[in-house]
Amino acid sequence: MSTISYDESSRSWLIGLASSSYAFCVSDEGSLRHLHWGAPLGSGTVAALTRDCEGPALQRTRDLAWSKDAPDEYVGWGGMRYDEPTLKVTYADGDRGLDLSVAGHRIAEEDGAALLEIDLVDGDRLAVTLHYRAAHGFDVLERWATIRNTGVEEVDVRLAASASWWLPAYDGPWRLRYEHGGWGMEHRLGDVMLATPGKFTLESRRGMTGHQHTPWFTLDRDGAATEETGEVWSGQVAWSGSWKIVAERTAADRMHVAGGWNDFDLSYRLAVGQETALPVFAGLHTADGLGGASRAWHDWTRARVLPSIEVSESAPPRLRDAGPWRPVLYNSWEATAFDVTEEGQRALAERAAGIGVELFVVDDGWFPGRPSATGGLGDWRPDPQKFPNGLEPLIDRVHELGMGFGLWVEPEMVSRDSDLFRAHPDWAYRMGGREPVERRHQLMLNLARPDVADWVLETVDGLLARYDISFLKWDANRNIADAGWAGSDNPERLWVEHTRSLYRILDALRAAHPSVLIEGCAGGGARVDLGILGHVHQVSSSDNTEPSMRWDIHDGYSQAFPPGTTGTWVSDWPHYGLERPLPLAQRFHVAMAGALGVGGDLTRWSEEDLAEAAAHIERYKEIRPVVQGGRMHRHGEAWELVAADDSEVVVIAFWRDRPIGNHRPPVRLTGVDATARYRDDTSGTSYDGSLLREVGLTLPGADGFGFGSALLRLIKED
Ligand code: GLA
């Protein structure tokens, strides 16, 4: 149970999480002073900490720094405040200073979590409520703020971070681990040592999360944490629009991380009485290394963030068989590109059904004006030439084959060459009279406009109502540019409202069609973050499914997100021009470390390939609960996935460029029970758990050379 307690004598709060504590107090000046985030504290210790915090040392540091450099929980910009603030506003009379003081607090129990709300006020003009939510059984603390205009004139919010996280005092270097990348190369890990005062900023100014960075980080002292050991602090901003995370080592040598909406070009005007809630900036502390941080994120995300998968009684039989797990899907994009026809899709569907696929997805190109990427976006109805009898005959055939039917849409976009654009040219983002920039021949709809958002919702809802659809792939192949909004006196709001509209639409679709699964995609992985995972069931983390590159993308993705939540396909080659013919087993094994999909052109696969594919898919169905719901231990080339009920362990390995004469060392399985025995369900070999932990498992094929892969299932014996 998480607990939140308040000690009146020291005016301090102590939040107890599963295996960590968080504490802060009211300082002499009336602001909120951070005290602790880390290993568990005993109750009664906070009062002592409070005295330390208010002692002469801090006062001296502050005097020397010529600033008000102190670990405040939430920093309204004003006075002698020079480190990264969390809130900056402009009042109607031009006043741009804030002086927030504590006005009250509430502790409550809500939906499996302990909740603390603290009210801060700047006189009678502005109120800020800080929210702290600690779900029972986890180490993740969710923090966010609500800002309310309590005055008599408009307030312009110019910077509003959700929270600032303070790390323990430490003189040595902190290692910041983060992600960077681009299209086809998402989720690369980068490390930077923050040893001296200064800032490191991660951000997106694109109105979308971006391929370039993920709103996630870890920090550890000296870079000493390993996969399984050492203290790690980690955070994620749950926001799919422009975001920013600033890791700052202050002049007084204290490390803190502020994050939330990006303040670049931000102006969010609050009318009198209006309030706005900022996105969650979640944080966690673990003593179990980088892998421990990942497992903590995965468990909590599955339990508290992801929408549940609901299968209706009337769903096609294969979807019912998949139950609460993500179905094995076939997607036609790589096979046909825009050349989608009823006949061609039927042929693929028949082959897909033959290898055990559960869901057949028609990708881009099914609507009119779409012979290529040059047009059609916005006209969400079947192309009468490609589907002369509508989509129904194909859907019926897919159902006859026992599979669910899925459809690709890109509803935030519009092509110039579309009926939608001809009817509503003003719906696309544009800046004054300037011609908006096209990317992939498309413009972006201003979803911040309620009428446009309503149209998008009605249109997609109409598709789901009209056709028997079990899966929606929601794509977005460009970012916001020309961020104008004709007729609005506060166009900068679009940076916030576009994403809010997207979330609202996705939620409304899920509410109206609870058994439809939604996959978020954005040119592969440009919208992968904790925010979107609250509104869709799975995401695409990349268009790149070449196994050796995908293994690295998996690795990066898995730092923050549960591995089974990303769709990943088995592709043919050339793959985006790359000729690397790797065996089917390797392509399957890597895709089986996520939510398995098949993307190759099945009409070109041999009977042997199809038979082998069927065997891999059957295997995936056996291990799926472990891949999608288990605990993961990363061992570089090998992943160990332990069933949630500890009944089995799945090991998936991928090797590349092993030299001739290579001998890969055994993999020590850190998640197995040392007192149990495990049986390889294929070879029948039985292993002692302590041996697997201490000596390790030699994987079949580990002594090969070049590329290779392995997949094992070890069942715990009674
Ligand atoms: C994006 C997606 C692909 C595919 C194409 C279709 O690139 O990531 O999977 O759907 O769009 O145009």
Residue type (1 letter), 114: A
Q: Of 362, 364, 415, which is best to mutate to test ligand 1, by the most ligand atoms within 8 angstroms of its C-beta? A: 364
- Rounded to a whole number, what is the distance in angstroms from the first to the last CA of the chain? 31
Token couple for 581: 């013919």
Q: Ligand 1 centroid to 680 CA: how many Å? A: 39
Residues 222, 227, 229: CA angle, nearest 5 degrees: 65
Find the DSSP H helices in 325-408.
333-336, 342-354, 392-400
Q: Tell me the pLDDT tens digit for each residue of 477-498.
A: 999 999 999 999 999 999 999 9
The residue behind tokens 């408009």 is: 154
The residue behind tokens 């009485």 is: 273
Distances (CA, A) of 370 to 375, 383, 389, 406, 523: 5, 8, 18, 18, 17
Q: How far is CA 258 from the centre of its chain?
A: 18
Contact 610, 348 (CB under 8 A): no
Long-range CB pairs of 606-610, under 8 A, 24+ apart, other chains included: 609/584, 610/351, 610/354, 610/355
Ligand 1 neighbour 471 (Cβ under 6 A): no
Three-state DSSP class for 560? helix
d(CA 281, CA 494): 21
d(CA 676, CA 689): 5
Token couple for 228: 């399984």
User: Is the bond preceding 574 in cis, omega lying within 30 degrees of 0?
Assistant: yes
Q: State the CB neighbour count (10 A cutoff) for residue 505.
A: 23
In this structure, the dihedral spanned by the alpha carbons of residues 28, 32, 36 and 42, taken in order and rounded to 10 degrees, is 70
Q: Tell me the pLDDT tens digit for each residue of 561-615.
A: 999 999 999 999 999 999 999 999 999 999 999 999 999 999 999 999 999 999 9
Distances (CA, A) of 306 to 299, 411, 518: 11, 22, 11
Ligand 1 neighbour 523 (Cβ under 6 A): yes
Residue type (1 letter), 154: E
Q: How far is CA 225 from the centre of its chain?
A: 23
> What are the backbone angles phi and psi of residue 685, rounded to the nearest 5°?
-65, 140
Positions in the chain short of pLDDT 50: none
Residue-level pLDDT at 82: 86
d(CA 304, CA 580): 40
DSSP assignment letter at 76: B
Q: Ligand 1 centroid to 475 CA: how many Å? A: 7
Distances (CA, A) of 133 to 106, 108, 244: 12, 10, 21
Q: Which atom of ligand 1 is nearest to 363's Cα? A: 10
Residue type (1 letter), 423: A
Residue nearest atom 2 of ligand 1, based on CA coordinates: 523
Q: Ligand 1 centroid to 363 CA: how many Å? A: 8
Q: What is the DSSP string of 424-466?
A: -GGGB---TTSPPPPBTTEEEB-TTSHHHHHHHHHHHHHHHHH
Q: Ligand 1 centroid to 541 CA: how many Å? A: 12
d(CA 380, CA 412): 12
Ligand 1 neighbour 203 (Cβ under 6 A): no
Question: For residue 616, how many C-alpha atoms fall within 13 Å in the half-sphere facing its CB?
Answer: 26
Residue type (1 letter), 481: A
Q: Which atom of ligand 1 is nearest to 540's Cα? A: 8
Say what the pTM is.
0.97
Ligand 1 neighbour 365 (Cβ under 6 A): no
